[in-house]
Amino acid sequence: MAGQVDERGAGALSGWLALPLWLGGVAVAAWSLIAPVALRGGDPAVAGILAVPVLAFLLKGFVVLEPNQAAVLVFFGKYAGSLRDDGFFWVNPFYAKHKLSLRAHNLNTPTLKVNDSAGNPIEVAAVIVWRVADTARATFDVENYYEYVTMQSESAVRQVVSARWYDGDENGANSLRGDLDMVARLLVDSIQSHCELAGLEILEARISHLAYAPEIAGAMLRRQQAVAVVAARTQIVEGAVGMVSLAMERLENEGVVRLDDVARVRLVTNLMTVLVGDSETQPVLSVDHD
């Protein structure tokens, strides 16, 4: 991108080396101011007077950086490099210094209302963990990288969620609710691609809230319950058919009883009723009057 600024290192002198030199200058300036007055009763030396503002200006060159903190240096509007090491340094006092945190930040997106791939309105929120990776881009390529990552994260959440189904497609794939790990990876990739310009690194992204919108929540809950009931019934019927088939086969193979077609149908009906019915069966005795 035109005008993009990439981070580079900046030269700096150890503050522990520069501090004794500066203190020595202060001592010499103080001596040149005090000695003429105290020893000869004259006026302070001009050099001592001029040294005071110079030493005060040189004091601006000292900078202290904590761990995971950086300083972007600017020389009369031009990028001069970045300091990333923690410690005590002295740099050109003409440099303007902009400190940035390199620590990990948490971003909680607001609850967004998004239509999934099926057009159902859902509510979704995400937690994003990010940090500054390129101090120059974060400083010069965007106006405010905090606002930038917030807006881009919301945009990425909408993009990822709208391309998938809440409960999956017809084959159960591309589900938001059932494949949160894949959704998290897609969120990281999407937000990272949006935030490259600002020099930000997305460390983690995950869904923190996912639900149907209130206006359809009741209907979708009934739909989920119906699907669950159908699935349970299907499994019960499949099991019952297997048990009845096994019972009929063993009765006939072991010669326990000989059944004609009518008796076989009656037995199958009774067994299926017992196995598939919701309520407990009541024994009924059939009394035939011959």
Distance from C-alpha of 152 to C-alpha of 170, rounded to nearest angstrom: 31
- Please compute the mean of the pLDDT values over residues 47-52 and round it to a whole number: 78
Q: For residue 98, give the nearest of 123, 67, 71 by alpha carbon.
A: 71
Distance from C-alpha of 95 to C-alpha of 122, rounded to nearest angstrom: 51
Angle between helices 214-253 and 261-276 (to 10 degrees): 140
pLDDT digits (tens, 9 = 90+) for 138-156: 999 999 999 999 999 999 9
Q: Residue 72 has which token pair?
A: 């972007």
- Please compute the mean of the pLDDT values over residues 77-92 and round it to a whole number: 94
Higher pLDDT: 279 or 51? It is 51
Of 83-87, 129-133, 201-205, 239-243, where does mean pLDDT reach its minimum?
A: 239-243
Distance from C-alpha of 88 to C-alpha of 240, rounded to nearest angstrom: 79
**pTM score of the predicted model:** 0.70
Q: What's 59's DSSP letter?
A: G
* pLDDT the model gives residue 90: 95
165: buried, middle or exposed (CB in 10 Å: 19+, 13-18, 0-12)? buried
Give the pLDDT band (50/70/90) at residue 193. Answer: very high
Give the pLDDT band (50/70/90) at residue 206. Answer: very high
105-212: CATH superfamily: Band 7 domain (3.30.479.30)
* Residue at token pair 């035109």: 2
Sequence spans of domains, the chain: 13-100, 105-212, 219-276
Q: Which residues of 170-209 are buried (b: 16+ CB within 10 A; e: fewer)?
A: eeeebbbeebeeebbebbbebbbebbbbbbbebeebebee
* pLDDT the model gives residue 67: 95
pLDDT digits (tens, 9 = 90+) for 155-175: 999 999 998 888 766 555 678
Amino acid making up residue 189? D
* pLDDT the model gives residue 1: 47
Give the pLDDT band (50/70/90) at residue 216. Answer: low
Q: For residue 111, give the nearest of 220, 217, 211, 195 by alpha carbon.
A: 211
